[in-house]
Amino acid sequence: MGQYQSPCLVLCMNTLITVLFLIFAALILTSAIMTVTVKNIVHAALWLISSFFGVGALYLLMEAEFLGVAQVLIYVGAVSILILFAIMLTRDLEGSQNRQLTPRWWIALIVPAALFGLLIVPTVMTHAWQLPPPPPAGQPPAISGAQQIGTAFMREYFLPFQVAAILLTVAMIGAIVIAFEERERRRRVLTLVEQVRLRQRQQQRQQPAPRPEPAATAVQTSEATGGET
Amino acid sequence: MTTEIQTETTEAQTTRGKVYVIDRGRTKLRAGQGLLTGLEVVFRHFRDALTRKLEKPSQQTGVFTVQYPEERLKLPEAFRNFPILLYDDETGQELCTSCFQCQRICPPQVIHMTQARDPATGKPVPAVAEFLIEYDACMSCGLCAEVCPFDAIKMDHEFEYSTDVHGGLTLNKEALNRPISYYEKIAPTFWAEVKDSAMKKLQGNMKRRPDLIGVAPQMVEKIRAQRAAAAAQAPSPTPATPEAAPADKAARLAAARARAAEKAAEATPEPAPDSAPIDKAARLAAIRAANAAKKAEGAADEVAAPATDSAPTDKAARLAAIRAANAAKKAAAEGAPAAGSADFASTPSDAAPAADAAPPASGMPADKAARLAAIRAADAAKKAAAEGAAPASDAAPPASGMPADKAARLAAIRAANAAKKAAAQRDGSEE
Amino acid sequence: MTDILRSWIGGALPDWLIVLIAYLLVTTIVLFYAVGNFIMMVWAERRVVARMQDRLGPNRVGPAGLLQPIADAVKMFTKEDIVPRNADRWVHLLAPIVALAPVAMMLAVIPWGRGWEPVDLNVALLYMVAVSAVSGVGLMMAGWGSNNKFALLGAMRAVAQLVSYEIPAVTALLTVVILAGGMSLLELPYMQAGVPIMGATILCGDPAGCSPLLYSTITSFPGSPNEPVQALDLGLGWWVFTPVGFLGFLVFFIAALAEGERTPFDIPEADSEIVAGYMTEYSGMKFATFYIAQYILNFALSALAATAFLGGWQGPGVAALANMGGPWVHVAAALSAFYLLAKIWILFFVMIWLRGAFPRLRVDQLMDFAWKLLLPLALVNIVSASLMVGLTQWTSAQWGGLISLDGFAPWQRQLIAVLVTAIINIAAAYWILAINQRPKQVEWDEEELIAAS
Amino acid sequence: MPSMTEAVPLPWVLTLAGALFCVGLFGALSRRNTVGILLGIELMLNAVNINLIAFWRYLEPNVVAGQTFALFVITVAAAEAAVGLAMIIAIYRARQTVNADEVDSLRG
């Protein structure tokens, strides 16, 4: 933008930012409400994605660029896709059109409403926030960006960073173990070549009819029974 | 990362030449090498397709696309799509004689034709009046072209007939007609095979077509102009007018045929012991003589003699006999305008002398047959000459000692003479 | 752009309006540029792949068939827009938009030429990756909203492929982040000045005797983060010429093929198996929107690959022209834009080439390829990239006294780093390929199988 | 350059985050579908993140703690989503339902 500054620019930009904030807030809240109320679970997931987008935009508005992009990458690109996949894989065909809310949903409504109206709003509004003084005009404020985050992860937050990495690995392995447990039970589908070879071996076994030594048989059977039990 | 290919070549001699079988064995490719090879092949195709066309089958790369409306593949001669009719470039005469063979054989029954008739007499002539082919139902089997004895219907190479008017695909004779030169261009070797016989047959047919019948519609104007010009240049000969059909012409014709018969007889390797061809030739001569006589006598309408000269003798003989019989029958049916033919017109047994002549002669020795034929011819001539002309007597000399061929010739000559005389008499009487 | 506008119409309009107009203008130009390229790409793909198959391709509409895409667009416009009766109407409607919008957003951060950067985002690389992942949601919406089994299958395949190939792609891009020391795309072409392999490490000995046509001032390159130096600059110090960059480029480009659903990895829309994948139930302009999204995604990924590994707009002559100053800077900008475009098109040609050459992978081969080949290679490459940075930039203090390269000249350090990383990468690639090529043992439990049959 | 700190007061952002949290809580409490519950939890985590970023931006923009914590939250959320969805799939395979009310074999 250069160094060209005018009073109108600052004022107009402030108005613009306010308007943008209100738009994003409306987007976030509308999408969130639709997420929790809409009947179709796929629609709910899509509304959730819209809400994620609003949050990402809000991060960008708050000049947390890395967080905003990470929000889009992780939530929109990964988590929501994961959720959509889970929905597709667990489609409850008979129940999808049923009531989505629990019978006593009004109790579930009262608690958050009370929390919001009685606790959050009064606290937030009345608390005296100690905001730092605004930076002098013409000098950009010192905002920590991606490089500072990276440095922090390698220095003071090194341990949490590693723990998070382990957590992710564990979660990934755990998810695989939980979700794909069943695959081991599935019988392997043989290829044609394997089928042919198997048949050949069966014939070979049947043809050399002479019985093996009794000792060997005994060992084999014992092994087999041992394996079965 | 080299490709190790164990190449083993075996050679085999087959009926189609040497065949090389290359056993490449198992190629040992490292990871990704096959992919690179594939890329290289594709790039070679890409590069060559930018610069050259695929012309020879041995070529592996190059553009093979034929940009159809602008470029066309050369069609093989045997390519067939829809049938067309041929006509002679110079005379404009169509080759078709409306023999109905094609109409009969056509599997989807899309060929229709009507035979041309002489407008003066109403008699059919060997030409086609109208010819229709429904191209929209034609299955391009080519059977019509196979079966056509006159090589008049051939399969065309043209295939762009797409239209939204269905009825427009029923083509009439004018649309079907193509000059012979066109067919010669699209199928030179095929035409060269049949050219001579087809043209000869056409020559024969042309003689039996009066006026402009049998001339391709698109050539009519031109031919008429040509004829008018020819008439203006040389008025004296005045050929081919049916009224004139004078006796001397008929006589010349008969003589020519007799010569031909003689030639045929001579052509047989052993004339004396093998009598069959000879007596046939004799019979033929007799029949022709009868025909000539009949014509001269005054049927007076057409030059009916078929162009059977080139046919094998025995066939020709049979054909001649049949035609003679037909001619006689027709003459009888028409009520015989010539005065003197009343008696053989009234009694069927007498009405077909030539027809009678042929069958009994088969078993006879050659000379006898010849004589008999001569006699019968003479009789016919005599009868025809109703005025009771004397010269008929010299038409039947015994001629017993002569060789068969001579007898035949003699018979022919005599018959011709008789005919001539009869004609002269008739002309005289009419005048 | 803002400055140019300001100089033209500075007094007439308020400042915020000029800024707005400038942004709108840049957006419009970039989008038109992308769509124009899309049109040319469609044409080029059909023509080139036709030549590869010994055909001619479309050549009827306009000279050499150049107007064929226009004709196709007109056809698309006039087609009926069909929505299946049982489809989820809104999802079905929104899916193409959700698929196209993020792809168009990717174009915002690419430096199209020297000084021609729409947006300078300091997390641009991550932004590209993140935004390209969003189009997966659009594909999922298309698949689910169509209420068609082929569409759903195609969408599941597409998204699974997108997600799994994002990992090697991001890992490959990480090498660039390590080399550049940041995620800004803007800086990348400047860092890839110099000569092949050596980069901008051949310094000028005598500042007075160095021609500005051959030497230019390098402010930010890995060898000298602090003070600007004069270095030999042919505009060819692309990272693809170094072992790290080469391996990273290969991995990223292959992953980009998969993300763009180009042919060796086109199972999401395998028309011989599942009609057209998630696009099955789309017609007319909605279908065209998917089509555009796909090509622009390829275009943007090619641009990203070119910028990250092939020097972006960097090329011979750009720096020299820029050093001449005055109006030549604009010529340099135009030349650099041409270089980037040429690189994008060469990459696109390679995509077409691969399409002409290779058959489609199976799903398991696809996953094997991503997880067993590309990802290990990318991970090894990260180690190499770190070594490269350490060997070329770190002081002995940073090494903790382990290695001391302080006495070497930059080009010597570069050479050492190239050799070391080359050895590591080649050995790793050989080893990983060998592991993957080891013939599989056919394993089964014979007793159980015999019992079963 | 004007920034959000001047244009929008902090309590607005915190109120937004609180509202989002409460909506998420309502979703998590009221949904019968297990996936729906997960969606609610994701919303709540996002609200927390908004809070963290807002505090960072408004109070201590030059310290990375806020962003770092937000990133950890995102990490945990991703892990939670992965494991949670895997569990849902496993439950679905075992019981052919994703309804939280019907998964009650541990009820006394």
Q: In this complex, is the C-beta atom of D88 within 8 Å of any C-beta atom belonging to chain A?
A: yes
Other CB atoms within 10 A of residue B210 CB: 22
Alpha carbon of D39: minimum distance to chain A alpha carbons (Å): 7
Which residue of D10, D14, D64 is the best one to mutate when testing the A interface, meaning the one whose CB has the most A CBs within 10 A? D64
- Asked if residue C48 has pLDDT above 50, the reply is yes
Cβ contact C113:C337 at 8 Å? yes
Higher pLDDT, B273 or C381: C381
CA distance B357 to B372: 8
CA distances from C222 to B77, C306, C389, C394, C414 (A): 75, 19, 7, 10, 10
In the prediction, which pLDDT does B377 show? 58
3-state DSSP assignment of residue C80: coil
- Its pTM surpasses 0.80: no
Q: Is A182 on the interface with D (CB under 8 A)?
A: yes
Mean pLDDT of all residues in D15-29: 88
Mean per-residue pLDDT, C186-204: 79
Q: Which domains does chain D have, with CATH numbers?
A: 9-100 (1.10.287.3510)
D105/B104: higher pLDDT = B104
pLDDT at B44 (0 to 100): 86
Highest mean pLDDT among C2-6, C183-187, C397-401: C183-187
Angle between helices C124-145 and A80-89 (to 10 degrees): 20
Q: Does C contact B via 3+ CB–CB distances below 8 Å?
A: yes
Give, as one character, the DSSP assignment of residue C85: T
Residues 6+ apart with CB under 8 A from C32: none
Task: Tell which residue, C339, C332, C362, has the closest CA to residue C216.
Answer: C332
Domain range for A179 is 157-207
- Is the CATH number 3.40.50.1970 carried by domain B83-218? no
Chains B and D touch (3+ CB pairs under 8 A): no
Residue B42 contacts C where some CB pair is shorter than 8 Å: yes
Q: Minimal CA–CA distance to C201: which of C231, C238, C244? A: C231
State whether the Cα torsion A119-A125-A126-A132 is positive or negative: positive
Q: Looking at residue A166, what is its pLDDT?
A: 92
- Identify the pLDDT of residue C347: 92
Query: Which pLDDT score is estimated for B428?
Result: 56
For residue range A131-186, list pLDDT tens digits in order.
Answer: 777 666 656 666 777 778 888 888 888 998 899 999 989 988 888 888 775 555 55
What does chain B come to in residues? Answer: 431
ipTM: 0.72
Supply B186's token pair: 């699209």
- Rounded-to-integer distance, Cα C313 and Cα C31, Å: 19
By percentage, how much of chain A surpasses pLDDT 70? 69
Q: What is the overall mean pLDDT for chain C?
A: 81
Alpha-carbon gap: C225 to the closest alpha carbon of chain A (Å): 15
Residue of A nearest to C170 (CA): A73
With contacts defined as CB-CB under 8 Å, which chain A residues touch C121?
65
Cα D88 from Cα A86, distance rounded (Å):
8
SS3 readout for chain B: CCCECCCEEEEEEECCEEEEEEECCCCECCCCHHHHHHHHHHHHHHHHHHHCECCCCCCCCCECCCCCCCCCCCCCCCCCCCEEEEECCCCCEECCCCCCHHHHHCCCCCEEEEEEECCCCCCEEEEEEEEEEECCCCCCCCHHHHHCCCCCEEECCCCCCCCCCCHHHEECHHHHEEEHHHHHHHCHHHHHHHHHHHHHHHHHHHHCCCCCCCECHHHHHHHHHHHHHHHHHCCCCCCCCCCCCCHHHHHHHHHHHHHHHHHHHHHCCCCCCCCHHHHHHHHHHHHHHHHHHHHHHHHCCCCCCCCCCCCCHHHHHHHHHHHHHHHHHHHHHCCCCCHHHHHHHHCHHHHCHHHHHHHHHCCCCHHHHHHHHHHHHHHHHHHHCCCCCHHHHHHCCCCCCCCHHHHHHHHHHHHHHHHHHHHHHHHHHHC
Q: How far apart are CA B260 and CA B264, in angstroms?
A: 6
Given a cut of 80, is residue D5 above it in pLDDT? no
CATH code for the domain in which residue A67 is found:
1.20.120.1200
Q: Quick one: pLDDT at residue C343?
A: 92
Length of chain A in residues, anyone?
A: 229
Where is pLDDT greater, at B272 or C121? C121
Cα–Cα distance between B27 and B7 in angstroms, integer? 10
Identify all chain D residues contacting A71, using CB atoms and an 8 Å cutoff. 49, 74
**Per the CB < 8 Å rule, is D89 touching A70?**
no
Tokens read off for A21:
């904030």
Among residues C119, C111, C121, which one has the least CA distance to residue C307?
Answer: C111
Distance between CA atoms of residues B206 and C229, nearest Å:
105
Cβ distance B46 to C353 less than 8 Å, yes or no, reads yes
Pairing label, strands B83-87, B111-117: unpaired
For chain A, say whether C140 makes contact (Cβ under 8 Å): yes
| Rounded CA separation B220/C359 (Å) | 66
**Given CB atoms, is C441 within the 8 Å cutoff of chain B?**
no
A168 — contact with chain D (CB < 8 Å)?
A: yes
> Which 3 state secondary structure label does DSSP give C185?
coil
Q: Say what the pLDDT of residue B346 is.
A: 38
Which of A91, A120, A142 delimits the end of a domain?
A: A91
Window from A84-88, A172-176, B318-322, C363-367 with minimum mean pLDDT: B318-322
Residue the block writes with tokens 């994620």: A52
Cβ partners under 8 Å of residue A86, min gap 6: D35, D85, D88, D89
Confidence of residue C410 (pLDDT cuts 50, 70, 90): confident
- Taking 50 as the pLDDT cut, the residues of chain B under it are 1-7, 237-245, 247, 268-276, 297-313, 332, 335-366, 386-402, 431
Touching pair D, C by Cβ (3+ pairs < 8 Å): no
The answer to whether the CB atoms of A69 and C19 lie below 8 A apart is no
CB C180 within 8 A of CB C187: yes
* Pairwise CB contact (< 8 Å): C55 & B43: no
Tell me the average pLDDT across A207-223: 49
The pLDDT value recorded for residue C252 is 92
**Chain C nearest C-alpha distance from B91 (Å):** 46
Quick one: angle between helices C284-309 and C89-106, nearest 10? 30
| Most confident by average pLDDT, B109-118, B394-403, C14-23, C190-199 | B109-118
| The predicted structure's pLDDT at residue A38 | 82
**Range with the poorest average pLDDT among A30-34, A201-205, C242-246, C271-275:** C271-275
